[in-house]
Structure 1
């Protein structure tokens, strides 16, 4: 066998062994070395497992060139230190801007919980009374946004039977409905909300009955305030042109593949008595949750561009408890204080719980007692 006949060096020929003995005795420098049993074991293992992976934190101490093992160990430590530094940086950014980090991940925007300002129990405020110049003075709403700016809308994405462009259009019409039903100045002054009504499916019989009778003969069952905000212009005027809001719109797939949109919004209306020269400002707070179904016209009888009402929930403060005349009925001054209910104490600015919970708590307990307006 030639000198290079066996690559792992596990054995040598008789001729090479005799030459090794002769040259060893004569002190030759280039005598071939007898491979050790350990070397043969390592060579066999490498031959049988030539591509055996090494864990990134594994240090192989039992064979092979030590220099290579040491370098692998240093690479493992560098990877570990680099990963630790990256984790530390992410934690720092998360602490400073949690909402921004959520946006790094696809689809995370629609899954994030309500922001801290919306969901946390509201901060304490002083007892300063509102004025015509500062109608939100002494109220958490002082820092809320105006009108539609205070309502958070999600990004559109294909959902149910709708593609992205159709969802975007439905969200825009939802925005139009919220504006026309709860922010329009003429509607707040008692006008019929024609623009908002035009967005409701005209073939939804139960809601059409509410709309037909609610303005003519309002009652607990047919109460237009379930969908619209209105004041009696003979008794109440708005204190300025600004309505403060806080809320959010979400959506999901509903029945028969419909786009089901939920709007949960709190509106703060500053008002004064309608008498000439009056400057006594009060606030009426309305939290309204409306669930709208933008139905597939191939599956549900509807008019294109309109939605069906799935549900509506209403919670009002200083709006006239157990008065069903089709208007919000605020109290002022001593009348407001004496008219505070005997039911459970509620903070109308606290949005940390679903509206359902507050409504359930108030059932059978009379009008709630507002801790502030």
Structure 2
């Protein structure tokens, strides 16, 4: 009998039966397989949530990129800002500086102006803004407002020596008209030390001026001083505007001319005297000679005074006292004279100074 019988009753050959046994033991290629544990878990989830049936358990859907709208807006604003700066830089500075005129000082004065500064809107000065309503609000402060020119060799001095002499000339202006102690009435020792001790006429003036002030021996001819019991400075800033110029003088000397306006905001020394602020304005012209020690008797590092004069407003009138005496209240009206002067007009020469009554003038603005 054969190894087996086929469906049609025919017998299978021994070779066919042997092949059948081998394939049964190895497993047919199309026989169903037991699913894995993970496959069974996925199938269970799909039965519970049919909506996820569209996604395969190994499929991947990339996330949609987020729109970075904020970056685009910021970039556009930056571009617009650059465009405004390019088209109107001055207005842009004003925009960020605000209304504080002190934050945008004028460029330094390098030559005599041709006209007075324009009128400002009338505003009362305050303790926080003592230069409010004044052209000085846009001036530089202290020594920064005194322009020093570039040095070159002159007469007996080399370029380096001229540069040192110009620096010391400005040092004198600082020590004589900006030093806080001197402004409070102290003796200007640092400034005096820069004056040639062998210049007899000036030394005589200095010996007399601080003891017995007079019209020809008044400390105010060279120094700015306030009587501490009468007035005090408001804040820590004195506004200045002016410049130094130089040329060759007599016997090959370096002759330096200083033309500077100083604006001092002051109030009553007595705290109970109210909050009135007066601006004392002084324009000084001082000519200094840095002499050749081989031709003139001098001390190294000092200068001789050739001339001095000043114009003063709101500094007091009457007999010399050795101090500026700013008028307040009713005294201010009593000090007014028929002669008027614009203390901020630097387009003309400096007038003759003095503290006598005939030299006082009424400021058209302060």
- Common fold: TM-score over 0.5: yes
CA-CA distance at 1:368 after TM superposition: 2.0
SS in 1 for 2:255: strand
Distance 1:163 1:244, change over 3 A: same
The equivalent residue for 1:256 is 251
Contact 2:110 2:147 in 1 (8 A): no
CA-CA distance at 1:160 after TM superposition: 0.7
Report Cα offsets for 1:204-239 as digits up to 9, x if no partner. Answer: 000001110001100000011111000000111000
SS in 2 for 1:267: strand
The equivalent residue for 1:130 is 125
Distance 1:129 1:347 in 2: 18
Distance 2:330 2:211 in 1: 32
1:148 aligns with 2:148: no
Report Cα offsets for 1:99-136 as digits up to 9, x if no partner. Answer: xxxxxxxxxxxxx9716xx4421111122111111101
Q: Find the partner of 1:291 among 279, 287, 293.
A: 287
1:305 aligns with 2:298: no
Distance 1:290 1:193 in 2: 16
Q: How many residues align?
A: 256
The equivalent residue for 1:194 is 189
The equivalent residue for 1:182 is 177
Contact 1:188 1:231 in 2 (8 A): yes
Distance 1:195 1:212 in 2: 15
Distance 1:119 1:147, change over 3 A: farther
SS in 2 for 1:351: coil
Structure 1 unaligned blocks of 5 or more:
1-111
Contact 2:312 2:360 in 1 (8 A): no
Report Cα offsets for 1:278-310 as digits up to 9, x if no partner. Answer: 422111000010000000000000000000000
1:270 aligns with 2:278: no
Structure 2 unaligned blocks of 5 or more:
1-108
Distance 2:357 2:230 in 1: 30
The equivalent residue for 2:222 is 227
Report Cα offsets for 1:156-208 as digits up to 9, x if no partner. Answer: 10001000010011011111111100000010000000000000000000000
CA-CA distance at 1:322 after TM superposition: 3.4
SS in 1 for 2:167: helix
The equivalent residue for 1:53 is none
Distance 2:300 2:329 in 1: 48
CA-CA distance at 1:249 after TM superposition: 0.3
The equivalent residue for 1:359 is 352
Larger radius of gyration: 2
Report Cα offsets for 1:345-371 as digits up to 9, x if no partner. Answer: 21010000011xx439x9996532211
**TM superposition score normalised by structure 2:** 0.67
1:327 aligns with 2:320: no
Contact 2:319 2:356 in 1 (8 A): no
Contact 1:342 1:366 in 2 (8 A): no
Report Cα offsets for 1:304-336 as digits up to 9, x if no partner. Answer: 000000000111001112331110110113321
**TM superposition score normalised by structure 1:** 0.66
CA-CA distance at 1:148 after TM superposition: 0.9
1:340 aligns with 2:333: no
Contact 2:319 2:357 in 1 (8 A): no
Distance 1:214 1:363 in 2: 15
The equivalent residue for 1:169 is 164
